[in-house]
Chains A and B, each alone.
Chain A
Amino acid sequence: MTSRPSRRAFLLGTAAAVIAANRRGSAQAQSSTPTAGQIVDRIREKAGVPWRETSIDGFKAGGADAIVTGIATTVVATADVLRRAAAAGRNLVIAQEPTFYTANEDGGNRAGDAVFVAKKALVDERHLVVWRFSDHWNARKPSEPVGALANALGWSAYRQADGDASYKVPEMRLDALLEHVRTRLRVRGGMRWIGRPDMTVRTVLLSPGGTDLASTVARMPRADVIIAGEPREWEAVPYVLDAGVQKAIVAVGRIVSLEPSAAACAAWIRSFTPELPVEAMAVGDPYWNPLS
């Protein structure tokens, strides 16, 4: 026989439901104006990678208690990005690279420097929060920066099964690939390359950000060209130079190579932060070329 709840139990249950509903309501009210700390907690929960005890990821300006009205993701929280973010009401800026010019964000001998001081003041006056998200975003598998760069180049469908950075693109000459990369990534002056313009390219390694030698050596024998961000010129660059005329490397710059990743990061955060506007803010190629 099914026991029916007593009236007392029913009333208690109703009261509990009302309390629960009130809690949900207050949680909703709270989540419509989340704090920066709550956003970070959500990111930590969704990241899908163990959170490191020691990490460069963390608050670089402002703090966890700030009420967030909008989020801007960017490669570098430049003064220009900070101003645009503030003007658009995106007071939580999530950056992949340092804000104050060094990994530890410490002014050091720049502490009294007018630009350093003015940037600190800009952040303070606009009540901006800057949170760095690099170690953990870059640790996600498959690689977010690689996938985002491939997407920006229109090559997502060409991903090779055997590696998350190798793409089998429709056959093209190196000079055509260079033009494609320059146009798609809006490279202004930073793009540098090594290789024969008429060489045929099929297999492309994508290496946004930095390019370590070990992964280059491991993958390059099966690839024609590396599209890199900031390869060191005593490492991957001379390695490709020495590898001979069948190999090529293109360096577009760290910032340019990571802009698609910052945009992908905005889309990812938006997927679990529906109550806030989340927007990617491009830095753009910092360089121009004196010869063009």
Chain B
Amino acid sequence: MTAQDIVTRIQQKLAGDGITWRATTVDTFKAGRPDTPVRGVATTGMATFDVLRRASAAGRNFVVTHEPTFYNHLDQTDALAGDPTYLAKLRFIEDQGLVVWRFHDHAHMLRPDPLVAGSARVLGWTPYASPAERGIYVLPPTTLRALAADVARHVNGRAIRVCGDPGMKVTRVALGPGYGVPPLTQAVDVSIGGEAPESGGHAEYAMDAQALGRPRGVILLGHMMSEDWGMREVADWLRAFVTDVPIEWVPAGEPFGRR
């Protein structure tokens, strides 16, 4: 079974679930040969150099990554042409016979979105999912301070940032994937996701909400701490219809604050 065979099987599975393959998508091969026989599959939030080394060492030569391999959304390599970091990574992929394929756009089209469901599962919130509103979790009443500490403990992130009054009451939480942190409104108490611009209605809204007497909060987990867990869900999903090879989740992990 080649990497291309597995991709074809994924496309067939999606088609069977009513998800049409997009004409324009970043879900393409990024490096390596699609006709490479697959010994094992590694799913990951991001195919960092470290993930590639671990996948290769474990014999998982087909890496399914949610985020880019070459540091930009479209994995364009023009700006990287003579760059030593890029060249070393590319050479490693080729030397080790790895194949890297991105599973981003269509992963987010699954229901539930595994990138959100993965975070919810690690947070222990699966039972709190609102039946009526996608991405909304109705938690037992808590405070932003207690919630943030609980979240940090569960995802085991080292660089979690919170904006908002620590004492504010929380029950309705919007959970989004990666850069898709739900923009704050009064409709929820707290918005949680990976990373967000400080000019898009997250931290600035939370600051204003507190100043204007309608406190709301934002919790930013970091991009990998938000989406890595979801690729564990994708590994589970793949195992149901790709039974010929071992499939393993190889998390990219928390990049920040390493010591």
Contact = CB atoms under 8 A, between A and B. Distances in A.
Interface of A: 76, 78-80, 83, 97-98, 101-103, 109-110, 113-115, 118-119, 122, 189-190, 192-197, 213-214, 217-218, 221, 230, 232-239, 241-244, 253-255, 283, 286-291
Interface of B: 46, 48-50, 67-68, 71-73, 79-80, 83-86, 89, 145, 148-149, 151-152, 158-163, 166, 179, 183, 185-186, 194-195, 197-201, 203-209, 211-214, 216, 219-220, 222-224, 255-259
6 residue pairs, one from A and one from B, having the closest CB atoms = A101-B201, A233-B223, A290-B148, A287-B161, A79-B211, A192-B159
Nearest to B223: A233
27 contacts: A80-B208, A109-B185, A114-B212, A115-B216, A192-B159, A192-B256, A193-B256, A193-B257, A194-B255, A233-B224, A234-B46, A234-B179, A237-B223, A238-B71, A239-B85, A253-B161, A254-B198, A286-B203, A286-B204, A287-B161, A287-B162, A287-B163, A288-B162, A289-B162, A290-B145, A290-B160, A291-B149
Contacts of A214: 79
Given A101-B183, A113-B185, A114-B186, A122 B212 contact: yes
A115 B85 contact: no
Nearest to B202: A101
Contacts of B185: 109-110, 113, 115
A281 to B, nearest CB: 13
A189 B161 contact: yes
Given A189-B162, A254-B198, A287-B163, A243 B85 contact: yes
B223 A115 contact: no
A254 B257 CA distance: 18
Most buried by B among A102, A103, A113: A113
A238 B209 CA distance: 33
Contact of A221 (B49, B50, B83, B208): B83
Contacts of B86: 217
Contacts of A190: 161
A102 B200 contact: yes
Contacts of B194: 233
A193 to B, nearest CB: 6
B72 A78 contact: no
Nearest to A216: B71
B67 A290 contact: no
B205 A115 contact: yes
A57 to B, nearest CB: 14
Given A78-B207, A97-B198, A234 B73 contact: yes
B203 A233 contact: no
Nearest to A235: B71
A75 to B, nearest CB: 9
A237 B149 contact: no
A217 B79 contact: yes
Contact of B258 (A98, A194, A254, A286): A194
A238 B200 contact: no
